[in-house]
Amino acid sequence: MSQHSEKKTPQKVQATWSRRRFVERMGVLAGVSTVLAAGGLWIRGSEPVRHRQEEIFKLKDFRVPESSRHPILAIVHGNHVESMVREAFNTLGGVERFIQKGDRVLLKPNVGWDRLPEQAANTGPELVASVARLCREAGASRVWVTDVSLNDPGRCFVRSGIEQAAQQAGAHVFLPGKDDFRATDMGGKLLKVWPVNRLFHQVDKVINLPIVKHHSLSGCTLAMKNWYGIIGGRRNQLHQDIHTSIVDLAAAVRPTLTIMDATRVLKANGPTGGSLDDVVHHETILAGLDEVALDSLALGHLDLTPDKIPFLALAEARGLGRVRWQDLNRSETRV
Amino acid sequence: MKRTIPGLRTLRRLYATFFLLLFLLLLFAGDFSRMQGYDIPLFLELDPLVAFSGFLTSVTVYKGMILSLAVVIPTLFLGRFFCSWVCPLGSLHHVTGLGLFTHRPSASHAANSYKPMFRWKYHLLTFFLIVSLLGGMQAGLLDPIALLFRSLTVAVLPMLDGLGLSVYPRTPVFQGGLLIATLFLLILAANRFMPRFWCRVLCPLGALLGILSRFAPLGIQRDVDLCSHCNRCLHHCQGGCDPHAAWRKSECHLCMNCIADCPEGALRYGLPKSRSSIHLPLDLNRRRLLETAAASLVMLPFMRRSLSSVTTDLPTIIRPPGSLAEEDFAKRCIKCAACMRICPTNALQPTLLEGGWEGIWTPILIPRVGYCEHHCVLCGRVCPTGAIRAIAVNEKIGQKPFDTPIRLGTAFFDRGRCLPWAMDIPCIVCEEVCPTSPKAIWYRLITISNRDGVSVTLKQPYLKPDLCIGCGICENKCPVGGEAAIRVSSIGESRSTTNRMLLKASP
């Protein structure tokens, strides 16, 4: 190389394109352009954000066929909860009437609060355990206990004694997490689509296990009000029309059976309670197939009358049951 | 001799792995979702920097912090072993350095030899200790254990939970989590440029241990006759302590890599012998150090005249139950976030600047995120420094022998937002969830004629301030989104004698 050209920066030059290379490249680019155009047209839409369609579930009817041979309500007094529960089942036609072999059963006690059993803010653990044990004896393949608590759920289930009692009785405790709710059509006047604890879509039988308690806004929290504990979302809005909400929920969830805990009754400062001064011992459980009648019957434990509680008449008008429990076939026993 | 020496490196690896796993185990075990967990702040109690600055702020060594002597005393004899044998953040940096740094001999020899910037950590330590003397606990900002605990709690664990690893029943969110995550990732990423950048340049605990190890009789000894100056000892050196030349005792983590790497058997750990190379003392200029001390001291009058939670009663600074009065709280809290890890409702959040610059990352209760669970006292049980006292449930809720509950603040209704007050709509969710008995929230039944002339009966809520404990469940559950219609502010908190409004003492 001459001295002159050495001073210049060496220039790199491209190779010339062959016809074959040109045709190949054009073919590839045309292919990519076609895919882009087709994909663009395919994905084109009028919505700014594409959301996946959420499946809307509907709750099934968990009730068993009516039978005129058995009473509709069973009132059992006594001191031993398990014998009382057995007596209630026997009165109403035996466990076999409600639970078949292989059934997946869901128990819905009230476990709303981080309270001890004696404070009567949650359903008694003895009642939950007894019902779970009877269901297992009747051949239920799996028994779950669940609730959507207001306080920290872990604490509520432990301190209410329900977690331990349920597990000892062979039931599983299910605390729904954020992914455990399914959009459900409640079909109510007020409640349309709400997120519902998914277990309610996965079981064959549902047993409502409320406790009889005072509640400032609705007057009382009994069987129908207990269905607040199956929904997620902003359920604190339901207070704005609590009576319609209660009836909507009761119309949406038709349980196999309701067994109400009136062994300890919280008469004031409900639904949270806290003071033992507000708790009285009535040593009774109320079981039955008519939630309206049961709620109406339970008012006696709180010194209330049906005319003070608007949701009862609303529920009767909706065909959910009868306020005048006195007209129904019932049995009252003591064990 | 050569056969026994690699044993020290293996031993160090075993220790470091054990302590890192123990740290993570204790972090995971601190889960009380079913009320069964372990409230063990062990590593924070082992931390001499936390203990020593706590001693300077409040002239006491609180409970378990005495355990820090188990690090201090051996360091006096052995050297700065904590950093590579025990410290979980050190081990994390070690591993990150192995992954990120290019270990070509030329690069690692340059990166692993001593640099004057390693002095920075002593200046940071000086700053933190002077501030401690003035009554401000800021060491937690850079203390490695507090920093690691905070970063994992506020950023990493929630992130892992969000990715599907089930850590929590309900994934928590933390304010400023992204900031804490970014800082954590930055100090890890620094290993890309220099292995153990954090430990060598910034760590104030490393600096403290470096000073403590100054008179240690034992050390890395290089036999000048055996050494062939191959510099292989620098290849995996963690401290940057120049084992190839004049060894810098205060920088060495005793990782023992140099001894294992030496092909001549010229390095050993023990007492010096006749042909052992010299050691260099702390590379610090007394004048520069005094400048840092003076600069830190000068901050005090400014601090005393800044609006902060210490100088003013601030409404949003709602501290966890059992917290000390704010001035003492500022002396104790090391921002480790142990309370935030254990809080079952995610109520406890790291402050940003709400409490002033000096309060950053201390815990406050944000009721819109979570509320103080009535019977829960876990935060006080895990607090290593006593900024939150360990209280019993009966003390918290005011049962025998205590006659008043611990109040965090007082709730106030916003009648312009409250449904029954402003919009004739029934509600009183706040009354339903109020956990005290009798309830602090009560209502008046009123019958009014609404806009359409229809007569409606409403329950309008009121608050009885001497019954309110400021737990915040009313604000948390209030259906009015955004700013709730009932909000807690810190006034009336038990821990303060000034942040009060009622003349009559509560019953």
**pLDDT of A3:** 53
Q: Is B342 on the interface with A (CB under 8 A)?
A: no
> How far does B374 lie from chain A, in Å, by closest CA?
8
**What residues of chain B lie within 8 A of the CB of A164, using their CB?**
none
The answer as to whether A92 is a domain residue is yes
Whole-complex ipTM? 0.87
Is the confidence at residue A5, as pLDDT, over 60?
A: no
Round to whole Å and give the CA distance between B191 and B111.
10
**pLDDT of B30:** 81
CATH classification at residue A109:
3.40.50.11440
Put simply, the answer to whether B477 touches A150 (Cβ < 8 Å) is yes
List pLDDT tens digits, range A128-177.
999 999 999 999 999 999 999 999 999 999 999 999 999 999 999 999 98
Is the confidence at residue A297, as pLDDT, over 90?
A: yes
The answer as to whether A4 is a domain residue is no
List pLDDT tens digits, range A229-270.
999 998 899 999 999 999 999 999 999 999 999 999 999 998
**pLDDT of A1:** 46
Put simply, the answer to whether A154 touches B419 (Cβ < 8 Å) is no
Which is more confident, A270 or A90? A90
User: Residue A87 has what DSSP assignment?
Assistant: H
Residues 6+ apart with CB under 8 A from A263: A81, A124, A126, A127, A281, A282, A283, A284, A285
The answer as to whether A192 is a domain residue is yes
Residue of B371, B375, B476 to mutate, testing the A interface (most A Cβ within 10 Å of its Cβ) = B375
Q: Is B63 on the interface with A (CB under 8 A)?
A: no
Q: Is B33 on the interface with A (CB under 8 A)?
A: yes
User: Residue B129 has what DSSP assignment?
Assistant: H
Is the confidence at residue A6, as pLDDT, over 70?
A: no
List pLDDT tens digits, range A169-202.
999 999 998 889 999 999 999 999 999 999 999 9
**What residues of chain B lie within 8 A of the CB of A215, using their CB?**
432
Is the confidence at residue A2, as pLDDT, over 60?
A: no
Put simply, the answer to whether B373 touches A155 (Cβ < 8 Å) is yes
Cα nearest neighbour of A150 on chain B: B433
Buried b (16+ CB within 10 A) or exposed e, B114-140: beeebbbbbbbbbbbbbbbebbbbbbb
Is the confidence at residue A14, as pLDDT, over 90?
A: no
Specify the number of domains making up chain A: 1
Q: Which residues of chain B are under the pLDDT cut of 50?
A: 1-2, 5, 507
List pLDDT tens digits, range A41-56.
999 989 899 888 889 9
Looking at A59-152, list the stretches that DSSP marks H as alpha helix, in order from N- to C-terminal side: 81-91, 95-98, 125-137
> What pTM does this model have?
0.91
> How far does A214 lie from chain B, in Å, by closest CA?
10
Q: Is B373 on the interface with A (CB under 8 A)?
A: yes
The answer as to whether A18 is a domain residue is no
Domains annotated on chain B, with CATH: 6-29+43-280 (no CATH), 326-397 (3.30.70), 410-489 (3.30.70.20)
**Distances from the Cα of B460 to the Cα of A68, A268, B126, B446, angstroms:** 47, 18, 58, 7
Residue A168: CB atoms within 10 Å:
12
Put simply, the answer to whether A150 touches B34 (Cβ < 8 Å) is no
**pLDDT of B38:** 81
The answer as to whether A24 is a domain residue is no
Round to whole Å and give the CA distance between B468 and B502.
12
List pLDDT tens digits, range B421-458.
999 999 999 999 999 999 999 999 999 999 999 999 99
The answer as to whether A1 is a domain residue is no
Domain of A208 in residue numbering reads as 73-334
**What residues of chain A lie within 8 A of the CB of B426, using their CB?**
217, 239-242
Tell me how far apart the 2 most distant CA atoms of chain A are, in Å: 121
**pLDDT of B33:** 76
Is the confidence at residue A299, as pLDDT, over 80?
A: yes
Name the pLDDT band for A328 (thresholds 50, 70, 90).
Answer: very high
The answer as to whether A129 is a domain residue is yes
**pLDDT of A12:** 87
List pLDDT tens digits, range A204-231.
999 999 999 999 999 999 999 999 999 9
The answer as to whether A16 is a domain residue is no
3-state per-residue secondary structure call for A177-203: CCCCEEEEECCCCCCCEEEEEHHHHCC
Cα nearest neighbour of A233 on chain B: B479
Q: Write out residues 245-284 of A within 8 Å (CB-CB) of B.
A: 269, 271-275, 278
